[in-house]
Amino acid sequence: MTKTKDNGNFQKGYTYQEALDLAEGNQEQAIPTYCAMCGPTAGCGLYAFVKDGKLLRVAGMAESPRNQGGVCPKGLASPQWLYAPERLKTPLLRVGERGEGKFSPITWEEAIEIIAGRLKQQKEQYGPESLAILSPARRNYSEMITRFLTVHGSPNYGHSGICAMQKAFAFFHTIGGVPSCDYENSDLIIYWGRQPVFSGPPTEGPAHLVAARKRGAKIVAVKPSMEPDVGMADMWLALRPGTDAALALSMLHVIFTEELYDKDFVEQWCYGLEEFTRHIQSYTPQWGASVTGVSARQICEAARLYASTDKAVIDVGNGVEHASSSSDAVRAIAIMMAVTNHLDRPGCNLMGERGLMPKPITLPGRYTPEMAKKLVGPEFPRAFQPFLEGLTSAYYRIFDSVLTGKPYPIRTIIAPGTQPLLSTRGTKRVLEALKKVDFFVTIDVMEPAEMKYADIVLPTTTPYEADHPFEIQGNRLMARTKVVEPMGDYKSIFAFFLDLGVAMGYGEDFWNGSIEAFENERLEPFHITIEELRKHTCGLTLPQQRREKKYQDYERMFQTKSFGFGKALFLPQGKVPLYHTVFAQEGFAPMPQWKETREKTKQYPLILSDYHTSKFFFGFLVKKYTVFAGIRA
């Protein structure tokens, strides 16, 4: 039996045989599965202990490469989520006025027939773009949503735009991709807008932080608030919320004026040095201090420390994205990585190829420039669409179109696993749009906040009630095993879109409704079927497919083609664009800059921010501000 210490509680992890032995002694079943409480990556491996068809508890799977037997409080709360009284039980059809909350139970067949009928009618009358589907946080069913929209002919995937994509866009257009962090070999870790203790998979961030501290690596925390990683840091840059771009630019000023950059790299692999050197002159540490609240002395110290440390990483978190200047901030940070020779070297920020992955199902080959023109509110400018997740509209602009009719009104909104009243700003405006939109469908495990305004409410399974999809962690594949029978009349979101696709007449594109055929197509790169994979109860470890890492392969890295229609290079000259010629051509700032968006006066010197760090608040576990007891701090 393996043991790991998690949040001060001694938790046990088991091998499969140990789990079976324990279950047998208690007259239970031990079922290998994945935790369902995090995303977007595959969850931690778990053993679910079941008796008389009821999930009693979970324990960590020692064989799982992600958690190696550890379980966090979210994972331990799985039974409470599964058996929560707020769970939906059956499909519902609105029978009263919007907002009254009056519904009548219907069958799944009736619900799908109604939805398909409405979509067909609107497609003929208004065009396929009249449908918008709202993005949840990135989930394993996100590609299925994109596929349905693409087959239907709509570009309107309503993406939130405040998580991952802004960061990815800036990194791709500055260094050709999103870098990872070689924490284990680094002598300096800068956590920039990142919360390594409470955000992300809980088995990873804290482990890297503690290990770095133990081996004597220096830690720098860049964030407005005092948090656990700050307590372990050698330096805390407590900047004003949203001023990350100003801080990065002032650090670059120090690096360039003191010639701390790698001259050979810049000469060979950067474009626009002369323009950038002139541009950066006005962003002095003194100026940076006046904007960010971080002292000029600290700005200089941080810049010198990073530039002079041979093995250093910058871990850029989602906090950097939550500001209007996020693109400038990430571009400036990416330039800093590159010019100081901290890009794709051991102990630094690494670039590289992913290992073998499931076959994508998003059908990007069917995107057309005409579809891009019909984006109701592009998340990124049309010139840079499609991007990483395909054609995307900004989440909140879906609702704006309903209210303003500009450029045209969205007629149907489907919300799978996302709650618009809780997920975006301008709640009153979102509410008005939900009252006005022609047709609104919500799909969730619990009663969603906007349920009263839905025309159809669909209850979905938790992953503990489904046997799909399979998951992959590195080179380890594992089929999902159903732990318990569904608690109500449920379908998975996968099954819903397969059935809706068939009802719309798109059967060939949706495997004629077969989950097994869908799984098998995704498994094609691994040369295995889902039936064969299920024989490997605790997963199958595949032979390593990756080539030996070749560091600093800039010739390859900087030739990455974009996802756009012309497949142009992300980096126009095949170099790090200190001055981005395509941005300039399209009317955008060719170099990262700072634009103050808030007026700071003596009368109103403080900034209201709804930023929070929580040890226990996870949106999909919460209904009306109540929190499961099992995950309370």
pLDDT per position as a tens digit, 277-295: 999 999 999 999 999 999 9
Tell me the C-alpha distance between 622 and 620, whole Å.
Answer: 6
Per residue in 95-128, pLDDT tens? 999 999 999 999 999 999 999 999 999 999 999 9
Residue 356: the pLDDT is 83
State the pTM of this model: 0.91
Structural tokens at position 335: 């330039």
Residue 45 has pLDDT above 70, yes or no: yes
User: In this prediction, what percent of the chain has a pLDDT beyond 90?
Assistant: 75
Residue 203: the pLDDT is 60
- What is the H or E stretch that residue 307 is in? helix 296-308
- What is the H or E stretch that residue 313 is in? strand 312-316
Residue 160: the pLDDT is 72
Tell me the C-alpha distance between 214 and 194, whole Å.
Answer: 20
CATH number for the domain formed by residue range(s) 92-162+356-466+488-517: 3.40.50.740
Residue 376 has pLDDT above 80, yes or no: yes
Residue 502: the pLDDT is 98
Residue 599: the pLDDT is 64
**SS3 at position 353:** coil
DSSP E strands in 167-246: the ranges are 180-181, 188-192, 218-222, 235-237
Strand order in the sheet with 540-541: 471-473, 476-478, 540-541
Domain with CATH 3.40.228.10 in the chain: 180-350
Question: What average pLDDT does range 32-55 have in this prediction?
Answer: 87
Of 370, 353, 313, the C-alpha closest to 129 is 370
Tell me the C-alpha distance between 93 and 106, whole Å.
Answer: 7
Q: Are 612 and 225 in contact (CB under 8 A)?
A: no
Question: What average pLDDT does range 7-33 have in this prediction?
Answer: 83
Q: Is the dihedral of CA 175, 179, 183, 189 positive or negative?
A: positive
Structural tokens at position 230: 């700050």
Per residue in 342-373, pLDDT tens? 999 999 999 977 778 899 999 999 999 999 99
Question: What average pLDDT does range 299-313 have in this prediction?
Answer: 98
Domain with CATH 3.40.50.740 in the chain: 92-162+356-466+488-517
Residue 48 has pLDDT above 60, yes or no: yes
Q: Is the pLDDT higher at 43 or at 187?
A: 187
Q: Is the pLDDT higher at 5 or at 443?
A: 443
Give me the chain's average pLDDT, please. Answer: 90
Question: What average pLDDT does range 320-333 have in this prediction?
Answer: 92
User: At 139, is the pLDDT very low, low, confident or very high (cuts 50, 70, 90)?
Assistant: confident
User: At 485, is the pLDDT very low, low, confident or very high (cuts 50, 70, 90)?
Assistant: very high
Minimum mean pLDDT range among 29-38, 124-133, 358-367, 377-386: 29-38
Q: Is the pLDDT higher at 270 or at 226?
A: 270
Residue 307 has pLDDT above 70, yes or no: yes
Q: Is the pLDDT higher at 548 or at 458?
A: 458
Is the domain 2-83 a CATH 1.10.3720.10 member?
no
Domain with CATH 2.20.25.90 in the chain: 2-83
Residue 577 has pLDDT above 70, yes or no: yes
Minimum mean pLDDT range among 52-56, 229-233, 272-276: 229-233
Q: Are 492 and 468 in contact (CB under 8 A)?
A: yes
User: At 42, is the pLDDT very low, low, confident or very high (cuts 50, 70, 90)?
Assistant: confident
Q: Are 29 and 484 in contact (CB under 8 A)?
A: no
Structural tokens at position 138: 């990135």
Residue 268: the pLDDT is 97
Residue 598 has pLDDT above 70, yes or no: no
Task: Write the CA distances from 466 to 211, 479, 509, integer angstroms.
Answer: 37, 11, 22
Is the domain 180-350 a CATH 3.40.228.10 member?
yes
Q: How many CB atoms are located within 10 Å of the residue 516 CB?
A: 13
Minimum mean pLDDT range among 118-127, 149-158, 621-630: 621-630
**SS3 at position 493:** helix
Residue 569 has pLDDT above 60, yes or no: yes
Q: Which residue has the tokens 């998003």?
A: 362
Q: Are 400 and 377 in contact (CB under 8 A)?
A: yes
Tell me the C-alpha distance between 196 and 525, whole Å.
Answer: 33
